[in-house]
Each structure stands twice: as structure tokens, then as C-alpha cells.
Amino acid sequence: MIASSVRAANLADHQKLSNLIFFESRLHRHLDWRSPLDWLGAPFYWALDDGRQITAALACPIEVPGIAWTRLFVYSGSWSAENAWNLLWQTARVEIAQTGGARVAVIAMQPWLQQILKINSFKNIQQIVMLDWQYQHWAGSEAQDIHIRKMTELDLPDVAKTDAASFDPLWQNSLETLEKAFAQALIATVAVSANDVIGYQLSTGGGPRAHLARLAVQHSMQGRGIGRMLLTDLFAKLEDQGIFKLSVNTQSDNAVSLKLYQKMGFVRTGEQYPVFIFDVPAYS
């Protein structure tokens, strides 16, 4: 029997990991604008190697300080899910603790992964809920001091600042991620007041439907109808492109977002996925 060991994954592992991800159905991938392979070379990316091939991998890179989303967990049929996770997670906890600690988070869509996380004392803090919107006409008007316009690449640093001022650290996106999101967006707009970006939306899609991937309004500007303005403008642009279905997801405890979406015609689909966290303390 060939002994396996856990080591840091690196750029030279690209092809082996690509094959593992492509051929294995035993896979967790984070809902993201980046491929798990895009994170190769970043800290907190581990491979289980038997000397010939990579048989499992776990990636928890830090994008926002103190927050390590689990971007990838994949394992081959030579392992059980629990054994592969335990070997990788044992190394992960030690290395994360040695480098200052972090909150490790997972959106666990598969029941088998949910079970593993529970066994390993991850805490289910909320659900991601799915909502769908189908076409209905919305007439909207901009506030006198706020207008909606197309997002440009030059807006992205300000968009990143708005994102950081709109969300708790767990849900913030870095400038690099927002650059990738913008490059993939079908429709991207900003809300502007006195030449300052105070809100934005990014939507993806193709064919008959679109997905509202991100909607953010600075905390200090909330309650002024900016989210409604962004959505009303988005609906009109979708109609112009012949798209009459739109999906979105948000956190089950985000009462402000849920109220806005439901007021604007979104309906919960019944689909929801748990968010688990595990706080790894720094070694003292």
C-alpha cells in the first residue's frame, strides 16, 4: 500500500488537480467567480499525495483578513469523504492557527459534506436562500441627488470600498474578485451621489434568464430606496435584452435584503443551503 501525505499544493499541481476536479463527482466547490485552480499558489491550499498522484485536496485561502472560505474539497474513490477530510483538515487547522488564526466558512450544498462538518464541530450559523423573479413591469424614478449608470472598470476601486462598507467581513469581496466578477457580468451598474459610488449591482446570465450575483448599498445610505432604484433599472435592462427571469440568493437572516427582494417581486423557491463556520484561534 502506498503511503499518502499532506503537503502544500503549488502551481506545478495544476494539471493533476484539474484532472481530479474534472473526473471526480466527490466535490465541493465554492460559489464563486474564480475557479478553485485560480487559487493555486495561495496559502492554505493542501493536496493529499500518494507519490504518484493527488487523491484529495482542500483549499481555504484568505481573501478578506481573518476569513477563509473553503473554495475546494475534492477526493478520489480511494478515500471515504470523512477520512480524506480528516487528514487534510488536521493539517489545515495547525497551519491556520500558526499564521494567526481565521474563521473558516463553508456553504455546504451536499448532505455528505454537511455531515462531515457537523462531526468536526463546525457551527451552522445561517442558510443561503434562493429566490426567483419573473417579469413584471416596474416604473421607477431616481432620487434627485442619486442616479444609476453603467459600471466601468475605473469604478472598481470605489465599488470595492462600497462592498466593504456594505457587508460584514464574512461576505465581503476583494478588489481582485470584483474585477473578475465585472469581467463576467452581463449587466453591471452603480448608484452615484455627488460623484461617489454608494451602491452597485452585478448580474450574470445568458439565454432566457439572469442571476443577480451582487447587490450592495453602503450602510450609511440605506433606507433611501437605492436598492430599489438599482433593481428597477436592472429590470428595464433585462427587458430590453428579452430576459424575463432573474434569480438571486441571500442570507436567511438578512431581513433587509429579503424584504427588498420580496417587495420587488422575488419569491423564495424553497431551496436553501447551510453556512457553516469554524473559528481557528491563533496559537499563543
Domain map of the chain by residue range? 5-127+275-280, 136-243
Q: Which residues contact 93 (CB under 8 A, 6 or more apart)?
A: 280
Which of 121, 36, 125 shows the shortest CA–CA distance to 85? 121
Q: Considering the chain, what percentage of its residues have pLDDT values greater than 90? A: 84
Task: Determine contact, residues 37/30, Cβ cutoff 8 Å.
Answer: no
Res 213 pLDDT > 80: yes
Nearest-10 Cα torsion for 249, 254, 258, 261: -60
Identical fold at 5-127+275-280 and 136-243?
yes
Q: What pLDDT is recorded for position 1?
A: 44
- Quick check: 191 and 226 in contact, CB under 8 A? yes
- Ramachandran area for residue 48 (φ above 0: left; ψ -120 to 50: alpha; else beta): beta
Q: What is the pLDDT of residues 174-208, one digit of tens each?
A: 999 999 999 999 999 999 998 899 999 999 998 89
Q: What is the pLDDT of residue 272?
A: 95
| Helices first, then strands: H and E counts in the chain | 7, 15
User: Can you read off the three cell numbers belonging to residue 132?
Assistant: 426567483
Distance from C-alpha of 105 to C-alpha of 69, rounded to nearest angstrom: 5
Burial class (CB in 10 A: 0-12, 13-18, 19+), 73: buried
Mean pLDDT of 111-126: 97
Q: In Å, how far from its chain's centre is CA 159? A: 16
- Assigned C-alpha cell, 73: 474539497
Cell of 280: 481557528
**CATH top class, domain 136-243:** alpha beta
What fold characterizes domain 5-127+275-280? Answer: Aminopeptidase (3.40.630)
Question: Could you give the CA distance from residue 259 to residue 264 in angstroms, rounded to a whole number?
Answer: 9
> What torsion, rounded to 10 degrees, do the Cα atoms 37, 42, 45, 48 define?
80
Checking if the pLDDT of 238 tops 70, the result is yes
